[in-house]
Structure 1
Amino acid sequence: MVAAGHPSVSMAGARVLADGGNAVDAVLVMAAVSWLVLPGQCGIGGDAFALYRGPDGRVTSFGGSGYGPDGAGTGFYRELGLTAIPLSGALAVAVPGAVAAIAALHRAGASRPLAELWAPVATMAETGVPCTAKTHDDVSQHAESLARDPDAARAFLPGGRPVRTGQRVLHPALAQTLRRLADDPACLYRGELGERAVALLTAAGAPFSGAEWEAGADVSGEPSITAEYGGLLVHQTPPPTPGWMVLQQAGICADRLGSLPWLGSDAVHWLASAARTSFADRARAGSDTPFWRTLLEPESLRVRRERIENGTAPRPGAMDIDGDTTSMVAVDGAGRAVGLIHSLAHTFGARLSVPGTGIMLNNRLGRGAYLAEGHPNAVAPRRRPLHTLNAWLVTDDVGELRHIGNVPGGDGQVQWNTQLLSHLIDHGTDPYTAVSAPRFTVFPGSDADVLEQAPELRCESRLDPSVLRRLHDLGHPVRRVGAWGAGGSAQVVSLDAATGALLGGSDPRQDGVAIGV
């Protein structure tokens, strides 16, 4: 079974499985197809993280998140008169990690050469893919900045106007790049493609040395981070992802949510308060520091649980979850399971492409790194910026797969993933019920440019009005965002332990679908 946020992505993965490929093969094709059909959300120039459960039951994480420039410290940007790293252009870019993570995942578990898997995707890029309403809206919203990049303008603004829904978007340069990367993924880091990217960025003032770009190719699998919840083992992606925040929130709420009415005011209060607590802790933890491990210790969880019980949980300032990401999951008949999530950070990333390649570059450095001297997330050489992407996988006490999923949405991810786990584990919902349940999001979060905005609890209006009133009485600054307006596009596949059947759910907030073969 596969699930993804676009029908073409799901269909591509399902075809691979039906043709005898495994779950890794399927996800590798799904990732490449999503670069074509969801170009505002992800791309070769972005970052990616994956969790992989192999046929032996071992769960491995693959982290593709690159460094900022070797020449960049807080002083570099301050001398330019900046109070924050820009969100577009060369100064916003971090070394892309998606291709390195995908190559490592391929080495770990694929059954077919990358060139074979990506050949049909390259053909799709040459013949064109129909523009969706989502891509039309993304292009229309960012037309002015895309028009300043010749390659982006050629693809997305034909005749100077945003590509229409249904109109084919042609990517001939991207087709050539896909074939080159399939033969040698490292060429993005240690070959001509990497050299062209570094030349573009340094000419525009970004202080890359090229060495940090070469280092970006070195991704290998590492153990997931894990915690027990509801008698099951939850696996998460390690830093620089915020996967530990999902485990912390679950630990704070452990043994409480299952006895509370599903999506009642008390359950929402606990989940929202745990999320606020986790973001306050993240402000101190940064991205790669080991401090997060102490936050999962029983005593730390007990203290934070008591703060929620006595009404002294933190209430920091707000954040903005603007940004685009897409994700996918695949499970095969041999028990392999893969969840992958990838992004350009904000929509179309830095809105800057490497000429003649079709590679749109990310703006992860601008979104995630601070200009706060001495802070663990301050921009610094060989320090990965703060991240929002994370993926999870759940196994039982003998290591058998129970659930796998993920959800895009900036700093909403760690909150919505915790909500999904509660729906599935505490209340036994099926995947579609879990992904379509009313969603709520606390503000603040961690984005560098919005740390001081006013706090809110953004709730979909499908939550019962009495629940919303009670949340207000409990001190939450409730704001209604429409019946389906919270954001995110969750994907979940579960294994029914009683029947052995795979159950899938794809979020109705976007165009995705789950397909079984």
Structure 2
Amino acid sequence: MSVREQEIGPQRPAVLAGEGMVSSSHPAVSAAGAHILADGGNAVDAALAMAAMSWLVLPGQCGLGGDAFAVVREPDGSVRTVGGSGFGPDGGDLDFYSSRELTAVPLEGALAVAVPGAVAGLAALHAHGATRELSALWGRATEAAERGVPCTAKTRADIAAHADVLGRDPGAAGVLLPDGRIPEVGRRLHHPEFAATLRTLAKNPASFYTGDFAEQAVATLQAGGAPFSGDEWAACGRVVPEPALFGRYGGHIVHQTPLPTPGWMVLQQAAICDRWIAGMPWLDAEAVHVMAGAANTAFADRVQHCGSDTDSWRATMESSAIAAARDRIAFDNAPTGPVGAPDGDTTSMVAVDAEGRAVSLIHSLAFTFGARLSVPGTGVLLNNRLGRGAYSIPEHPNAVAPRRRPLHTLNAWIVTDEAGDLLHVGNTPGGDGQVQWNMQLLSHLIDHGCDPQQAVDAPRFTVFPGSDADVLGSPQEVRCESRLGDTVLERLRHRGHAVRVDGPWDAGGSALVISADSARGCLRGGADSRQEGVALGA
């Protein structure tokens, strides 16, 4: 399996029954997308409407102050990506942090922040495929922000876990801690400042990077000690669509997001596993062992080789490197490396319209509520992507440096056949779990013919090494949901894995899949039962 950067197509459109389908991790998000499709909008329109609604109903997971990535398949079979992520501060080199006796970029506050890329990324998505104005696509979310959205159990739990630090930020406290208290489930949370910001940005997204908002944001960060100049903020305001990375798995083509995302890691795992695990019983110990070894290999290569502005990862995809990885896994010698939990808070969505246009979109603030720092008067919480993603390792290609984007955990994918026709579109949040669980989804769907709901609900396992900057060096484990079964877990231990058993649904993530059944002319969708999501047809 080779990884390439080129568009596939044009090819025959696949016309599907109905107006399309959406799936997300929250009913209101799915409803926003389904409403757009039913009203005649396309999948790009639907994804943009869903993104805006998720900023309100999943405020810990995403926001205007975060990043966003998407893969888009057009009806002619062509595939493109957009990547919205930003630089750290121009003055933020290794010397800046070491001179302040910091051994790592902080995970909270102004020093944790990278320029948000979500607005620029979504503006590019809109400019290259939408049929409606942003003001119309974001209008439903704007109205909901003014009206107030009910606090869900998840949002309440997120607020409760971070109430102390949120309470120290007046902008966050005013919305998320009404009356100074953790809101009860069902309490409406009003976002008037956010509504005003969203209305302004819908008219002119560029103002986020060069207008009043940019000035306020940079001033806030400078006041917090971050060495932003403002020039790096303006430099992140324009995103140009790029071809997707792609490789083959099970005779199909998997399209993935390029750097700074770890999309190549999914393709590397797929190359290692391709036609090896297809004949194994579904989720038996040997299949889990192979996928765990492939994930360990990808993480070790990422930590050793990868930065957002280098192509050194390509050497890991050479046929000789893939063959060597297979040999190591077969003889129980897969690498172990820097490790840590699949932490982080992200949300994602998928949409397919009647013409077969498909969008896989994922966005995040990095950790829950990001840096826990808002831009006063705007309702916007800022990310902590710099603290999460950039290393404090001299000479490393992912070392924190001016005008270098930190590496991401976010990635999104679409699967087509060799002719370019749509087969599957999906993604999952979950930090360093993402690249592993996405590989598992591909195997469920392609190797075993699972339907989308079976795929997203399948027992999940997670290997550590991960590669987030804050977790390098923890003990090696494979964390397995108990539903894998005692026999599988014991055989994994016998193969030398340090197995930790989690609850039956406790692995994390919120996987989403829509599959095109061209023989029947319909779509099938699934939303992970581990969260509150739903797939809806329009």
TM tier, smaller? over 0.9
Q: Which residue of 1 aligns with 2:174?
A: 154
Task: Tell me how far apart the structure 1 counterparts of residues 165 and 358 of structure 2 sit (CA, whole Å).
Answer: 39
**One of 128, 140, 162 as aligned partner of 1:120:** 140
**One of 383, 402, 410 as aligned partner of 2:431:** 410
Amino acid paired to 1:272: A
Q: Which residue of 2 aligns with 1:390?
A: 411
* Equivalent residue runs for 1:154-303 within 5 Å: 154-288=174-308, 289-303=310-324
Could you tell me how far 1:286 is from its partner in structure 2? Answer: 2.2
**One of 83, 86, 89 as aligned partner of 1:63:** 83
Q: Which residue of 2 aligns with 1:481?
A: 502
Kept after mapping to 2: 8 A contact 1:241/1:287: no
The answer to whether 1:332 aligns with 2:345 is no
Could you tell me how far 1:300 is from its partner in structure 2? Answer: 1.4
Task: Tell me how far apart the structure 2 counterparts of residues 276 and 112 of structure 1 sit (CA, whole Å).
Answer: 43
Could you tell me how far 1:160 is from its partner in structure 2? Answer: 1.3
Task: Tell me how far apart the structure 1 counterparts of residues 360 and 175 of structure 2 sit (CA, whole Å).
Answer: 29
Could you tell me how far 1:285 is from its partner in structure 2? Answer: 2.1
Task: Tell me how far apart the structure 1 counterparts of residues 252 and 311 of structure 2 sit (CA, whole Å).
Answer: 25
**One of 318, 336, 340 as aligned partner of 1:315:** 336
Could you tell me how far 1:183 is from its partner in structure 2? Answer: 0.3
Deviation readout 1:329-352 (Å, 9 max, x if unpaired) = 000011110010000000000000
Deviation readout 1:216-256 (Å, 9 max, x if unpaired) = 11101000000011010000000000000000001001111
Q: Which residue of 1 aligns with 2:402?
A: 381
- Percent identity among equivalent residues? 63
Task: Tell me how far apart the structure 1 counterparts of residues 397 and 113 of structure 2 sit (CA, whole Å).
Answer: 19
Kept after mapping to 1: 8 A contact 2:110/2:225: yes
Q: Which residue of 1 aligns with 2:17?
A: none
Kept after mapping to 2: 8 A contact 1:459/1:481: yes
Task: Tell me how far apart the structure 2 counterparts of residues 423 and 298 of structure 1 sit (CA, whole Å).
Answer: 24
Task: Tell me how far apart the structure 2 counterparts of residues 61 and 120 of structure 1 sit (CA, whole Å).
Answer: 26
Task: Tell me how far apart the structure 1 counterparts of residues 451 and 136 of structure 2 sit (CA, whole Å).
Answer: 35
Q: Which residue of 2 aligns with 1:91?
A: 111
Amino acid paired to 1:430: D
Could you tell me how far 1:497 is from its partner in structure 2? Answer: 3.1
Kept after mapping to 2: 8 A contact 1:323/1:409: yes
Q: Which residue of 2 aligns with 1:503?
A: 524
Could you tell me how far 1:405 is from its partner in structure 2? Answer: 0.2
Task: Tell me how far apart the structure 2 counterparts of residues 317 and 24 of structure 1 sit (CA, whole Å).
Answer: 38
Q: How well do the aligned residues superpose, as a CA RMSD in angstroms?
A: 0.7
Could you tell me how far 1:7 is from its partner in structure 2? Answer: 0.2
Could you tell me how far 1:311 is from its partner in structure 2? Answer: 2.0
SS at match of 1:3: strand
Task: Tell me how far apart the structure 1 counterparts of residues 295 and 323 of structure 2 sit (CA, whole Å).
Answer: 15
Q: Which residue of 2 aligns with 1:5?
A: 25
Deviation readout 1:171-229 (Å, 9 max, x if unpaired) = 00000001000000011101110111001101111001111100111101000000011
Deviation readout 1:73-118 (Å, 9 max, x if unpaired) = 1110000011111100000000000010100000010001111111
Task: Tell me how far apart the structure 2 counterparts of residues 43 and 87 of structure 1 sit (CA, whole Å).
Answer: 17
Segments of structure 2 that go 5 or more residues without pairing to the other structure are 1-20
**One of 472, 492, 504 as aligned partner of 2:513:** 492
* Equivalent residue runs for 1:344-383 within 5 Å: 344-383=365-404
Task: Tell me how far apart the structure 2 counterparts of residues 169 and 418 of structure 1 sit (CA, whole Å).
Answer: 37
Task: Tell me how far apart the structure 1 counterparts of residues 172 and 513 of structure 2 sit (CA, whole Å).
Answer: 33
Kept after mapping to 2: 8 A contact 1:405/1:493: yes
Task: Tell me how far apart the structure 1 counterparts of residues 470 and 415 of structure 2 sit (CA, whole Å).
Answer: 34
Q: How many residues align?
A: 517
The answer to whether 1:343 aligns with 2:385 is no
SS at match of 1:313: coil
Kept after mapping to 1: 8 A contact 2:338/2:467: no
SS at match of 1:342: strand
The worse-fitting range, judged by mean Cα deviation, of 408-417 and 51-60 is 51-60
Amino acid paired to 2:441: L
Could you tell me how far 1:500 is from its partner in structure 2? Answer: 2.0
Q: Which residue of 2 aligns with 1:100?
A: 120
Q: Which residue of 1 aligns with 2:467?
A: 446
Could you tell me how far 1:120 is from its partner in structure 2? Answer: 2.0
Amino acid paired to 2:337: P
SS at match of 1:462: helix
Amino acid paired to 2:229: S
SS at match of 2:351: strand
SS at match of 2:482: coil
Amino acid paired to 1:395: T
Could you tell me how far 1:449 is from its partner in structure 2? Answer: 1.4
State the TM-score, normalizing by the size of structure 1: 0.99
SS at match of 1:60: strand
Could you tell me how far 1:165 is from its partner in structure 2? Answer: 0.6
SS at match of 2:247: strand
SS at match of 1:505: strand
The worse-fitting range, judged by mean Cα deviation, of 292-301 and 129-138 is 292-301
The worse-fitting range, judged by mean Cα deviation, of 502-511 and 307-316 is 307-316
Could you tell me how far 1:325 is from its partner in structure 2? Answer: 0.2
**One of 47, 52, 57 as aligned partner of 1:27:** 47
Segments of structure 1 that go 5 or more residues without pairing to the other structure are none
Q: Which residue of 2 aligns with 1:76?
A: 96
Kept after mapping to 2: 8 A contact 1:67/1:216: yes
Deviation readout 1:315-373 (Å, 9 max, x if unpaired) = 22421222100000000011110010000000000000000000000000000111111
Deviation readout 1:275-310 (Å, 9 max, x if unpaired) = 001100001122321011222222211111111112
**One of 481, 486, 498 as aligned partner of 1:460:** 481
Kept after mapping to 2: 8 A contact 1:287/1:387: no
**One of 127, 132, 139 as aligned partner of 2:152:** 132
State the TM-score, normalizing by the size of structure 2: 0.95
Deviation readout 1:370-413 (Å, 9 max, x if unpaired) = 11110111000111111100000000011000000000000000
